[in-house]
Amino acid sequence: MGSSVHDEIWLRSRQRALYAQNHRAGGLEGGITNGEDLVVRGYLKPFPVCGVRWNRWISRVKNGEGRLRALGYCVLPAGGVVGEAMVALTLARSILEKFGGDSMEETLRNFNAYLEQVRRF
């Protein structure tokens, strides 16, 4: 339920800054980042291995006898890399949508101008 990720907004009086006390929403409020750390959680569906013949290998040879082990498939290491790349691409796309530019220098200039505008506000 949405109420399970609702964050109450509090005021730090010394800094005159708002903050989320519990940080349950992962840094997003209504689809907009709230200035807190952005937390991303990813999930993988189980990898289907039905009917796949597993690779077999000898793990240890001692006194002329080997122990046979079976290997399955694990997508977790590759899934982490793919997930991290997709988060990076999504964040980069969002930055370009907000600040535009045909080069990194132009995008950085637009970003710095935005920060200056926010400071003056």
Taking CA atoms, 51 is separated from 70, 73, 97, in Å, by 14, 13, 45
pTM assigned to the model: 0.57
E-only strand ranges, 27-85: 28-29, 32-33, 55-62, 65-71
What is the gyration radius of the CA atoms in the chain, in angstroms? Answer: 24
Assess whether pLDDT exceeds 60 at residue 51.
no
Q: In this predicted structure, what is the pLDDT of residue 54? A: 52
For residues 19 and 97, what is the distance between their CA atoms, to the nearest angstrom? Answer: 26
Assess whether pLDDT exceeds 70 at residue 20.
yes
Q: In this predicted structure, what is the pLDDT of residue 71? A: 54
Higher pLDDT, 17 or 105: 105
